[in-house]
Structure formats: C-alpha cells, structure tokens
Amino acid sequence: MISTQAESLEMARTQLYIDGVWVDGQNGATLEVINPATEEPIATVAYGTGSDARHALEAAQRALPVWQKTNVYERAAKLKKIADLMRENVDYLATALTMEQGKPLAEAKGETMASAATFEWFAEEAKRAYGRTIPASANNKRLFTVRHPVGVCAAVSPWNFPLILQARKLAPALAVGCTTVSRPSSQTPLSLLRLFELMEQVELPAGSINLLMGPPAELMTEFMENRICRKISFTGSTEVGKELVRNSAQQMKRLSLELGGHAPVIIFPDVDVESVAKASVIGKFRNNGQVCICPTRFYAHKDIEKDYLEACVEETKKLVLGNGLDPDVNIGPMFENRALDKTDAIVQDATSKGAQCLTGGGRSNQFERGYYYEPTVLTSVSSDMSIMTEEPFAPVMPIMDYSDIDEVIAKANDTEFGLAAYVLTNDLSAAFKMAEGLEFGTIGINDTVPAAPQSPFGGLKESGIGRENSIEGMDVYLETKAVSLAIQE
Ligand code: NAD
C-alpha cells in the first residue's frame, strides 16, 4: 500500500527556466498537472508563450560562444556531475515521474538511471569527436575536417518517457558545445523540472539550458521560424514529424525525428515457450504499451502458437494493476482518459471483425479513480483490424500464427513504420536471417528492452530521420567543415 503523504508532490520549481533564472510565462498562464492514478492535480506549472520561446532562444544564443569555448574536458566533467546527481536523487526524480506519467516506480527508477547513463556516456564520447585528415591529390595541399557544433538546438519530447527522451537530446547537444531549449510535454514536466533544479548545481553558463512548458504549436512555430534555432530534435508522432519536415524547408532547419512504431515479434518453434511468454508479456505491457518500440504484433510459429498463447494469457493474468507508487504494482494507469477511449476503440474494432479476447478487454472496474485498463490479449486477429495498421500505444497483445519464415518477414515488413522488431529464437541462422531481412532500426533478438546509450536508436521508413544515442546520436549535433590548406612546397 502507498502512504497518503506520497500522493502529494512538493515541487520546489514549477516555473520556466530561461537564461539561468526561474520565471513565470510572459502572460502569467499556468497549467495543472494531473496524476493519472488518481485524476487529482499534483502541481501547477507555468505555461509560456511564443515570446518566452524567443527569449529562451536568445539566451541560448548568448550562451553559445561561452559554452562552445569551454574545453570539452570541462564540459564532460559537468555532464558527468549531472549523471552523478541524477543517481544520488533517483527517488526524487522517479517519484515525480511516476506521479505525472503513471508508470510503476521501478520503471521510473530504471528510466532515471538510464538517463544518468546517457549523460555519462556522452560526456565521455564528446572527447572523441574526431575529425579526419584526408590525402590530397596535389602535393601542396593538406585536407582535414573540423567538427563544429550545430548551434542552438530545440529539444521537444512527448509524455511517455519525460526524462530519458530529453536526456538523449540534451546530453549529446551539450557535450559537443551546443546550447539548448527544452520543451517537454506540458502534461509531464515535473521530473524534468526536478532535473533542471539539479542541473543548476553544476553551474552551466546562464542560458546554455532552458526549459519551457507551453502550447506545442506556438512554441514550435518560434523554433521553426526563428533563425537562432539551428536544429530541432523532436520525439513524437509520425503525423507531427511529417508536418515538421514540411515546415523545415524554409530555413533548411536541421531535424532529428524519432517517431512512431509498430513492432512485430516473431517467435520461432525452438524456444522455451514458458520463458519467452514471460519475456513477451513484460515487454508488451511495460508502461502500459505506451512505448514507441513496444512489441505490438506477435507472430508465433504454428507448432507452438497454442502453447504460447496460453502461457501469455496466464502471465498476463498475473500482472498487478494499480497506482505505480505501490511496490507490488506492475502496471500503472494509462496516461490520460483519451488513451482509454482509444484503447476501447481498438479492442472493439478488432472484436467486431472477429478477434477473440482471451483476457482483459475493457476499463478496469477495480478503482474509483484513475485511467486503468485491463491488460488484454487478443487472438484470431487479421490484417484489416486497426490494431494491425495503426500504432496502438495500448496494453493490448494481438497474437497470430505463421508457418513460413519468408512469409512472416514479409508480413512484419508490411508497414510504413520501421522503428523496432523482435525475434525470439535459439537458432543462430534464423537470428541472422531475421536481423538481415527485417526493415527496422532496432532489432531485439531474445531482448525486449534493446535500447542503450552506446547503441544507435531510430527509425527506418516513416519512423524517423537520424539516430539518437551512440556515435550517430552525437554526430547529429555536429556539422563537418572541410579545410583545404595550400602550403609552400
Ligand atoms: P505528439 O506528436 O502528439 O506529441 C509529441 C510532442 O510534440 C509533445 O510534446 C506535444 O506537445 C508536441 N506537439 C504536438 N503537436 C505538435 C505540433 N503540431 N507542433 C509541435 N509540437 C507538437 O505525440 P504523442 O502522442 O504525445 O507521443 C506519442 C508518440 O511519440 C508515439 O507515436 C510514439 O511512438 C512516439 N515516440 C517515439 C519515440 C522514438 O524514440 N521514436 C519515443 C517515444 C515516443
């Protein structure tokens, strides 16, 4: 059980952070943040405007030469200190994360520690932002490259991973000498506000990091139209991502886009059914299925499909639904009421077209308040159901069978999304064939949690442009300048 004291959230900071100062938004507007477990307001935060975004960009522009000239080893030491502070304050950060977003506290702590690891990894990697020397075709020339930070970057992220999605942008950008303006989802700003409080302690130059809550389209218009902003790194839906691509043409604004997914899971007949069912259920219902790389379409080989289905239903029934602050809970509430409506619509569409619901299938009636949905397993699923074509973002597990490896690869690839795919097998040849044949940016083989700071993360096809994490995730904050030097022979 959770104590009632844990239900209230003391927030030291709730304002915008611009130019090294905590301020109200220009028009004094505020927004209540709601706990999805209780539907109660837990904090009131400042809600800025386009002109606040302009001030933040101007502050970031002023800070740029100072931060850029700060030696990379000094920048790295500050980022490493941020990582240390996050680890020391994991409970402080994770409690806010659970209360604003709904995920169980263990998952929130995991997200916090992974965010700290991201700051630490980029602190180290920026020291290796090497250029090249290039053999010239004339004896009197010397060719080499210089890596140059892109400049002021906007970091825009959604509500499902409020800390790590900002960490994946801020850590590489700051590490290579860019300055930043962060815009989290205004519905989940609390853990990031706490992180900014901690970041204040490392004394970055005023203006090098800024934080805004506010209306998404208005703030984005400022990022897009203001020439100070050289790059926008956006995580969110493919629909909004496409709009940003269209709008970026005017100034050739640099974009990194981490967008939606619809991940297939292919289960081979050689697996230990019980253990892969357990792993599948953990992967599927993590954060209620509200994960961009969430497994969303399960293809089990026909020889084991019946056993796999039964084992998944059994595992799903064991999951404990409730307030994420309760240590016994494995699934918290969904993020908002709209998500419950969308999940209902997906399930109803599937069952009306012949799917069978083996467990779950509706809103939970265990709770008086909160956005709870029963974890759901569906079978007899067909390709005309919306769950197979649209990104579900829901605690619903559709399981189908297949008999032929080429046929299942074709089915898995038959989507405009290309973010993540999963393969469960002990057959090395099959694993290679899948890694080579599947058109997805991340392929988890016997691994349903495949993201790591040192490994590239991003989408093929309409799931995005660019990569986060890893060397590639640092490169997108650097431009390459070629220098050609003619010498006297
Ligand atoms: P969304 O696109 O509606 O919103 C994402 C962010 O952009 C939010 O902060 C939102 O306030 C803002 N936004 C919304 N409309 C905007 C507009 N017109 N102009 C500018 N900004 C706007 O996405 P969502 O539903 O909040 O988030 C879920 C989506 O994010 C899913 O599609 C999920 O797959 C995707 N996602 C992708 C990754 C990844 O790394 N690829 C990670 C997490 C989530």
Q: What span, in angstroms and rounded, lies between the C-alpha atoms of 240 and 243?
A: 5
Q: Is the CB of 60 under 6 A from ligand 1?
A: no
Looking at the fold, whether 372 and 228 belong to one and the same domain comes out as: no
pLDDT interval class at 8 (50, 70, 90): low
How many domains does the chain divide into?
2
- At residue 22, the pLDDT reads 98
Q: pTM value?
A: 0.97
> Is residue 397 in some structural domain?
yes
Does ligand 1 come within 6 angstroms of the Cβ of 464?
Answer: yes
Q: Is 462 in the pocket of ligand 1 (CB under 6 A)?
A: no
pLDDT at residue 6 greater than cutoff 80: no
Same domain? For 80 and 172 the reply is: yes
d(CA 173, CA 151): 9
Residue 315: both structure tokens together: 């595992």
Q: How many Å lie between the centroid of ligand 1 and the Cα of residue 51?
A: 22
Say yes or no: 180 and 88 in one domain: yes
Q: Running DSSP on this structure, what letter comes out for residue 63? A: H
Examine residue 86 and state whether it is found in any structural domain, yes or no.
yes
Among 8-17, 175-184, 242-251, where is mean pLDDT lowest? 8-17
- The separation between CA 259 and the C-alpha centre of its own chain, rounded to angstroms, equals 9
Residue 457 lies in a domain: no
pLDDT (0 to 100) of residue 9: 84
- The predicted pLDDT at position 294 comes to 98
Q: Is position 488 within any domain?
A: no
Residue 96, pLDDT > 50, answer: yes
Query: Is 333 inside any structural domain?
Result: yes
User: Is 342 within a domain?
Assistant: yes
Does residue 26 sit in the same domain as residue 129?
Answer: yes
In this structure, what CATH number is given to the domain that contains residue 181?
A: 3.40.605.10
- DSSP output for 207-273: TSEEE--S-HHHHHHHHHH-TTEEEEEEES-HHHHHHHHHHHGGGT-EEEEE----EEEEE-TTS-H
Q: Are residues 329 and 198 part of one domain?
A: no
Indicate which residues carry an active-site annotation: 258, 292
Q: Establish if 338 belongs to a structural domain.
A: yes
Query: Do 198 and 243 share a domain, yes or no?
Result: yes
For residue 473, the one-letter residue type is G
3-state secondary structure of 338: helix
Closest-CA residue to 473 (of 58, 113, 129): 129
Atom of ligand 1 nearest to the CA of 161: 43
Continuous segment of H or E residues that includes residue 467: none
Query: Is the pLDDT assigned to residue 3 strictly greater than 90?
Result: no
Ligand 1 lined by 261 (C-beta under 6 Å): yes
State which ligand 1 atom lies nearest to the alpha carbon of 241: 2
361 and 470 fall within a common domain:
no
- Please check whether residues 184 and 325 belong to one and the same domain: no
Q: How many Cα atoms sit within 13 Å of 107 on the Cβ side?
A: 29
Nearest to 451 by CA among 113, 126, 175: 113
Same domain as 295, residue 253? no
Burial of 403 (0-12, 13-18, 19+ CB in 10 A): exposed
| Closest ligand 1 atom, residue 238 Cα | 32
Q: Is the CB of 360 under 6 A from ligand 1?
A: no
Averaged pLDDT score across all residues of the chain: 97
Do 367 and 218 share a structural domain?
Answer: no
Residue 397, domain CATH? 3.40.309.10
Is residue 489 included in any domain, yes or no?
no
Domain that holds residue 60: 2-259+463-482
Find the distance separating the first CA and the last CA of the chain, reported in whole Å. Answer: 80
Across 388-392, average pLDDT: 96
> Are 293 and 442 within one domain?
yes
Same domain, yes or no: 110 and 206: yes
User: According to the model, what pLDDT value does residue 266 have?
Assistant: 98
